[in-house]
Amino acid sequence: MERRWLTIREAAEYLGLSVKGCYDMAAAGKLPAARVGRLVRVDLRALEADLEAQVQGTPAAVRGRGRGK
């Protein structure tokens, strides 16, 4: 069975972001996360669905033109 919940550190590594950036995104509601006591966990399935929706919603001519590219 696949793990569904990631720690903030694991989510940061998965996304290539800083741990602080992921905490900030979770606090702002931009990352599908939930508090479990004092711990923060990121929902992997929801995160992948959000990323896929962003890719699907991006015109092909623009895709791949991130910062610095």
Please report the pLDDT score of residue 1 as a whole number: 61
For position 9, which CATH number holds?
1.10.10
Six-digit token string for 26: 């979770």
Please report the pLDDT score of residue 68 as a whole number: 46
Evaluate whether 42 touches 31 at the Cβ level (below 8 Å): yes
On whether residue 22 sits in a domain, the answer given is yes
On whether residue 67 sits in a domain, the answer given is no
Beta strands in the chain (DSSP E): 5-7, 33-36, 39-43
pLDDT in tens, 11-60: 999 999 999 999 999 999 999 999 999 999 999 999 999 899 888 886 55
Q: Name the domain count of the chain.
A: 1
Give the residues across from 40 on adjacent strands: 35
Please report the pLDDT score of residue 62 as a whole number: 53
Please report the pLDDT score of residue 3 as a whole number: 79
